[in-house]
Copies of this chain bind each other. A is one copy, B any other.
């Protein structure tokens, strides 16, 4: 019997499915915002939800390509690219495709490989991927507060 600490918890396929489930939920959160509030509403000086979603897009697709290939495309985190909800949702869906298509090309050893994500953030790559996912959950939780403050019922957290 495998010793617990050394036991694998989750396969690459299962982690992909988890993430894509989260991404479906995040897409519903983007869609739930009124157009104007998506780009302008904010609490306590924080970024509007569109900016957080754009960060997830810039991190997600290029991030998974970086994990798969070791090539990290430079991202302009502060220059905002998407100006409407439709543009944002289209980029969101392209990222979903990119992640889906790239995932199975990640060499298996890479999950335990050390690399500097985007040339800056060194870590074991499983933790880099978890950072992408956790960052999305974190900011999406903030989007829930924005929606509630706007009087809008957010999509159910457990529905993926």
Contact = CB atoms under 8 A, between A and B. Distances in A.
Interface of A: 1-16, 18, 22, 43-46, 103-109, 111, 124, 126-127, 129-131, 134-135, 137-142, 144-151, 157-158
B148 A135 contact: no
Contacts of A130: 10, 18
Contact of A6 (B11, B43, B144): B11
Contacts of A6: 11-13
27 contacts: A2-B108, A4-B12, A4-B107, A4-B108, A5-B11, A5-B104, A6-B12, A7-B108, A8-B11, A9-B11, A9-B12, A9-B111, A10-B10, A10-B111, A14-B124, A14-B126, A43-B148, A44-B145, A44-B147, A44-B151, A135-B157, A137-B141, A138-B138, A138-B157, A141-B141, A142-B142, A145-B145
A143 to B, nearest CB: 9
Main secondary structure of the interface of A (DSSP, over half): helix
A36 to B, nearest CB: 18
Given A18-B130, A141-B138, A145-B46, A7 B2 contact: no
Nearest to A152: B44
Contacts of A10: 8-10, 15, 111, 126, 130
A107 B3 CA distance: 8
A145 B111 contact: no
A74 B149 CA distance: 33
